[in-house]
């Protein structure tokens, strides 16, 4: 279940209450026509609030619904994400009005290294090359696009729906005018990790009701799945050499560019096994040991008042013959993932239940560790309250005895990256 971002008072403003009412109406609609009518009203209210930057009004409604009505909460969250990442705009030219559909697209890049993963401004020639490949291999004919001149880390992406809305519309205007979009002069610093995600942000603009991506074009719709796979493959082949210039010294994998929030969620999930792989690679090279000489300790963590709910697993690494935690990786749970591995569509029933039983997060973590050669894995049954170092803010990890400790590389370790994903 998605979580609210922050606390809000119980008393809602009129605008927040209107969002609550409209979201509940969508959820209780008895026909598609009624549902679309309510959605239209909800979108109009969200458009007004996002355009004027009233994120606090939206957050208050979300937090209220999270406590009282989870179905309406999901409706409102879906609505605010959709309105902030997409829109229909009207352009007046020569006395005629033309409507366009706009979508903010994120192109995620998984990166891993023993050194540093770059982010920041993209040189003009590199931006032009990436834009040309993006348009040629992913987009439908007749579309316009504008790519932000910034390689974003997760800390540098829009922090709110209102910021995403602003980014969507500014990039859309640049796409329609055929001009470069200038990103922020000074982006926030990002913490260095062994494995992390970088993003290209693109606004795609298409004639209203027309296709945006290649696989949506009428001639290709019958085989859209194969066309989408082929488009991703071409994007990877053609863009990879240019992306490698932006991320020197890194291993990289390009994911399918998709609508902003969907792409970010998929990247958040897919970076987790990469983080495990990068940690084992780093430790074996830095400590001059084999993977079989490492031990992993897996423990579940959650908020103190979360009724036993696990929000993330923390994987501590120790030498096999020692209890000293030398490194750690965080494996967050997203959406409807939980410690039982329940799939989004709910528990499976029937005779094939056992065959289709999903892996739990712990089973998946162990599978990745074993594949990398780490065969001594200890799974702690206790659920821990999420705690962090008071001095540096790093997460604390459970050692083999179950004590929460700070991960520390040996004192004689060569200086390098010691942050935790």
pLDDT at 356: 56
Residue (of 107, 155, 132, 414) closest to 252 by Cα position: 107
pLDDT at 235: 98
pLDDT at 184: 66
pLDDT at 380: 95
In the block, tokens 């594949």 appear at 371
What are the φ/ψ torsions at residue 11 (nearest 5 degrees)? -80, 120
pLDDT at 306: 62
Instruction: Look up residue 262 and give its two tokens.
Output: 């969907």
3-state secondary structure of 10: coil
Cα 233 versus chain centre, distance: 21
Integer-rounded Cα radius of gyration of the chain = 23
Q: Cβ contacts of residue 181 below 8 Å, gap of 6+?
A: 146, 147, 148, 149, 170, 171, 174, 203
* Helix, strand, coil distribution of the chain in percent, nearest 5: 40, 25, 35
pLDDT at 182: 75
**CB burial of residue 298 (10 Å; 0-12, 13-18, 19+):** buried
pLDDT at 32: 97
Contact 320, 293 (CB under 8 A): yes
How many C-beta neighbours within 10 Å does residue 356 have? 9
* Alpha carbons 232 and 258: distance in angstroms, whole number: 11
* Alpha carbons 211 and 91: distance in angstroms, whole number: 18
96-112 vs 251-254, strand pairing mode: antiparallel
Please give the C-alpha separations between residue 356 and each of 349, 365, 387, in angstroms, as whole numbers: 10, 19, 35
Task: Report the share of the chain in percent with pLDDT over 70.
Answer: 90
pLDDT at 347: 43
Contact 90, 35 (CB under 8 A): no
Contact 231, 138 (CB under 8 A): yes
pLDDT along the chain (421 residues), means of 10: 49 95 97 97 97 97 95 97 96 88 98 91 95 97 96 94 96 92 72 91 96 96 95 97 95 97 96 96 94 96 82 96 94 78 46 61 96 96 91 92 93 58 42
């Amino acid at each position: 279940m998605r979580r609210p971002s922050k606390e809000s008072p119980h008393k809602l403003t009129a605008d927040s209450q209107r969002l609550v009412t409209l979201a509940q109406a969508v959820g209780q609609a008895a026909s598609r026509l009624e549902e679309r009518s309510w959605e239209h009203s909800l979108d109009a209210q969200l458009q007004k609030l996002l355009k004027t930057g009233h994120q606090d009004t939206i957050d208050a409604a979300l937090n209220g619904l999270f406590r009282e009505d989870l179905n309406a909460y999901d409706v409102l969250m879906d609505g605010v994400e959709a309105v902030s990442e997409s829109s229909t705009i009207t352009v007046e030219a020569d006395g005629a009005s033309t409507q366009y559909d706009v979508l903010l697209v994120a192109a995620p890049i998984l990166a891993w290294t023993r050194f540093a993963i770059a982010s920041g401004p993209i040189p003009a020639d590199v931006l032009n090359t990436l834009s040309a490949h993006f348009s040629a291999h992913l987009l439908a004919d007749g579309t316009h696009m504008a790519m932000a001149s910034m390689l974003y880390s997760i800390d540098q992406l829009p922090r709110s729906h209102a910021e995403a809305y602003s980014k969507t519309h500014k990039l859309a205007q640049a796409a329609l005018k055929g001009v470069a979009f200038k990103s922020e002069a000074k982006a926030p610093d990002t913490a260095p990790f062994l494995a992390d995600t970088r993003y290209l942000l693109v606004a795609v603009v298409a004639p209203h009701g027309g296709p945006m991506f290649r696989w949506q074009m009428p001639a290709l719709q019958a085989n859209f799945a194969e066309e989408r796979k082929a488009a991703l493959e071409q994007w990877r082949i053609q863009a990879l050499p240019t992306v490698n210039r932006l991320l020197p010294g890194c291993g990289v994998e390009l994911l399918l560019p998709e609508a902003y929030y969907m792409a970010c969620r998929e990247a958040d999930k897919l970076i987790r096994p990469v983080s495990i792989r990068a940690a084992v690679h780093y430790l074996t090279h830095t400590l001059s040991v084999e993977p079989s000489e490492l031990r992993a300790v897996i423990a579940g963590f959650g908020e103190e008042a979360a009724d036993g709910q696990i929000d993330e697993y923390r994987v501590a690494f120790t030498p096999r013959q020692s209890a000293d935690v030398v490194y750690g990786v965080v494996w967050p749970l997203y959406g409807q993932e939980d410690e039982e591995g329940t799939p989004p569509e709910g528990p499976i029933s029937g005779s094939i239940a056992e065959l289709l039983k999903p892996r739990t997060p712990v089973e998946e973590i162990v599978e990745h560790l074993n594949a990398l050669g780490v065969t001594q894995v200890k799974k702690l049954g206790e659920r821990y309250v999420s705690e962090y170092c008071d001095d540096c803010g790093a997460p604390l990890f459970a050692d083999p005895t179950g004590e929460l400790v700070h991960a520390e590389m040996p004192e004689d370790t060569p200086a390098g990256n010691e942050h935790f994903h």
